[in-house]
Structure 1
Amino acid sequence: MSVNDIYVITFVGIAATLFIDLYAFLLAKVFKIPSLNFCLVGRWGLGLLAGKFKHLNIATSPVKQFECVFGWCLHYFIGVLFSFLFILLVGIAWLDQPTLIAACIFGLASVSMPFFVMQPALGMGIMATKTANPLQARLKSAVTHLLFGVGIYLSAQFIQFI
Structure 2
Amino acid sequence: MADFLLRSILIGVGATVIFDLWGLFLKRAFGLGGANWAPVGRWFCHLTGGKVFHDDIAQAPPFAHELAAGWIFHYLVGILFAAILLAVTPPGWAQQPTLMPPLIVGLVTVGAGWFLLQPGMGAGIAASRRPNANQIRILNILGHIVFGLGLYVTALLIR
- TM-score, normalised on structure 1? 0.94
Q: Which moved more, 1:26-35 or 1:142-151?
A: 26-35
Q: SS of the counterpart of 1:93?
A: coil
Deviation at 1:62, TM superposition (A): 2.3
- Other-structure match for 1:139: 138
Alpha-carbon RMSD: 1.1
- Other-structure match for 1:6: 5
Q: Which runs of 4+ in 1 moved over 3 A?
A: none
**Contact 2:81–2:105 (Cα < 8 Å) also in 1:** no
- TM-score, normalised on structure 2? 0.95
In structure 2, list runs of 5 or more residues that go unmatched: none
The residue identity in structure 1 corresponding to 2:11 is V
Deviation at 1:43, TM superposition (A): 0.2
Counterpart check, 1:159 vs 2:158? yes
- Other-structure match for 1:18: 17
Deviation at 1:5, TM superposition (A): 3.1
In structure 1, list runs of 5 or more residues that go unmatched: none
Alignment: residue pair count: 159
Counterpart Cα distance in 2 of 1:92 and 1:151: 20
- Other-structure match for 1:75: 74
Deviation at 1:26, TM superposition (A): 1.0
Counterpart Cα distance in 1 of 2:57 and 2:101: 34
Percent pairwise identity: 34
Q: Describe the superposition over 1:107-146 as per-residue Cα deviations: whole angstroms up to 9, x where unpaired.
A: 1111111011111001000011111200000011111111
Alignment map for 1:21-32 (pairs within 5 Å): 21-32=20-31
Counterpart Cα distance in 2 of 1:60 and 1:37: 16
